[in-house]
Amino acid sequence: MHFLDQAKIFIRAGAGGPGAVSFRREKYVEYGGPDGGNGGKGGDIIFEAIAGLNTLIDFRYTQHFKAPRGTGGSGKDRTGAQGPDLVIRVPVGTQVISDEDRETVLADLTEAGQRVVLLEGGMGGRGNASYKTSTNRAPRQHQPGLPAEEMWVWLRLKLLADTGLVGLPNAGKSTFINKITNTKAKVGAYAFTTLRPQLGVVSHRDREFVLADIPGLIAGAAEGAGVGDRFLGHIERCRVLIHLIDANGVDPVEAMEVVEEELAAYGEGLDEKPRLIALNKIDLIDKELVEAFSKELIAAGAAEVFPISGATGAGIDALLDGVISYLPSATVTERPAGEREESDDTPWSPI
């Protein structure tokens, strides 16, 4: 299935049905009079978050959504039927954004089963029976139903994950996520093997959390270089970020600074999230060089450095211990992102 995280659609609620003009005429009935019923209400446009969906690809082929209108009233004071609501099912993590400025968030669906009524159907018009008064015994006026509301909106999907994985191209992110999850991300000896976000579930010390891998960042990504910063939105809701650095690269400190600058340029609080620096591919260099690079990264501002190897699995347990210390336990319902949880688990000690 193709991945699509943005889509533009047109939505229109149902118009209200018109009220009826009718008079009661029955043989052998002494008193007649107006008996036109009211029109039915139009259908609403409702967005619902559904678990199990992780792409907006369906909205590439279906872009217009129109709820049915209410039916008109009729004689014998019969109210018209209400138009059924139109439910648009989207993945959890979808935002509905105004097309006018591409910034105003109209709805943010972050939980499975969450529903938001974005457009309400028009009210049905009044029939002539509702106009009857002591001085107006045979009214012929009625109301048409209220017109439907309509608009263009953008759907933007931000995948929900506990931890985000960032780094330069070829830092070994795909190999790392394949090692610790059941994800089958593409691995290749060239840049940008990952062209769309990947999600995987990590099981560690009887805990589970969701890890999101996004395409690699390069200098100038905020201005559109490489694949740009479009996919950074998928890690906005993460509690902690893992920054993977290639120990076999040219300069680990420069690699860290490039990604840090792009996170700051993107904004949305990404540069304020706690980050665990993972020095990857240590199986390709000697121990003395690993220690030297780790000290350089700490001197450059890294709070913690974890030497690991995504290929062999060395050091990964210590890194995952660091990750779960930032995640809430099963009994914790709310805790500010970035606040470390006190744990009785086996202690870990970064370099």
Of 107, 133, 157, which marks where a domain is finished? 157
C-alpha torsion 244→249→253→258, nearest 10? -70
Q: Is position 122 within any domain? A: yes
How confident is the model at residue 199, as a pLDDT?
78
Which one is predicted more confidently, 28 or 112? Answer: 112
- Its pTM surpasses 0.85: no
Whether 144 and 278 map to the same domain: the answer is no
Whether 232 and 274 map to the same domain: the answer is yes
Q: What are phi and psi of 309, to 5 degrees?
A: -135, 115
Q: Residue 43's closest CA among 155, 98, 120? A: 120
Which region among 135-139, 156-160, 252-256 has the lowest average model confidence (pLDDT)?
A: 156-160
- H or E element at residue 164: strand 163-167
Residue 184 binned pLDDT confidence (cut-offs 50, 70, 90)? low
Share of the chain above pLDDT 90, in %: 37
> Quick check: 223 and 210 in contact, CB under 8 A?
no
> Quick check: 280 and 247 in contact, CB under 8 A?
yes
Q: Is position 49 within any domain? A: yes
**Average pLDDT, rounded, for the chain:** 83
How confident is the model at residue 174, as a pLDDT?
84
- Feature table: binding site for GTP: 167-174, 192-196, 213-216, 280-283, 309-311
Whether 116 and 174 map to the same domain: the answer is no
Whether 221 and 148 map to the same domain: the answer is no
Whether 139 and 215 map to the same domain: the answer is no
Residue 147 binned pLDDT confidence (cut-offs 50, 70, 90)? very high
How confident is the model at residue 139, as a pLDDT?
92
| pLDDT exceeds cutoff 80 at 339 | no
How confident is the model at residue 218, as a pLDDT?
67
Domain that holds residue 273: 163-324
Span 232-256, pLDDT tens digits: 777 788 888 989 998 887 788 998 9
Whether 93 and 208 map to the same domain: the answer is no
Residue 335 binned pLDDT confidence (cut-offs 50, 70, 90)? very low
Span 318-333, pLDDT tens digits: 999 999 988 886 433 3
- Residue 300: left (phi > 0), alpha (psi -120 to 50), or beta? alpha
140: exposed, middle or buried (Cβ count in 10 Å: 0-12, 13-18, 19+): exposed
Share of the chain above pLDDT 70, in %: 84
Q: Token digits for 75?
A: 């004689």
Whether 180 and 311 map to the same domain: the answer is yes
Residues 6+ positions from 120 with CB-CB distance below 8 Å? 13, 44, 149
Q: Is position 1 within any domain? A: no
Whether 203 and 151 map to the same domain: the answer is no
Q: Is position 348 within any domain? A: no
Q: Residue 79's closest CA among 130, 15, 137? A: 130
CATH code, 81: 2.70.210.12
Whether 153 and 219 map to the same domain: the answer is no
Q: How far apart are CA 320 and CA 251, in angstroms?
A: 25
Q: Is position 137 within any domain? A: yes
Whether 204 and 91 map to the same domain: the answer is no
Q: Is position 341 within any domain? A: no
How confident is the model at residue 172, as a pLDDT?
83
- Feature table: binding site: 167-174, 192-196, 213-216, 280-283, 309-311
| Helical axes 316-324 vs 173-180, angle rounded to 10° | 80
- Feature table: binding site for Mg(2+): 174, 194
- DSSP E strands in 255-326: the ranges are 275-280, 305-307
Q: Is position 220 within any domain? A: yes
Whether 147 and 177 map to the same domain: the answer is no
| pLDDT exceeds cutoff 50 at 76 | yes
Whether 186 and 311 map to the same domain: the answer is yes
What is the domain count for the chain?
Answer: 2
CATH code, 232: 3.40.50.300
Of 157, 177, 201, which marks where a domain is finished? 157
How confident is the model at residue 38, as a pLDDT?
95
Residue 351 binned pLDDT confidence (cut-offs 50, 70, 90)? very low
Span between the terminal Cα atoms of the chain, in Å: 41
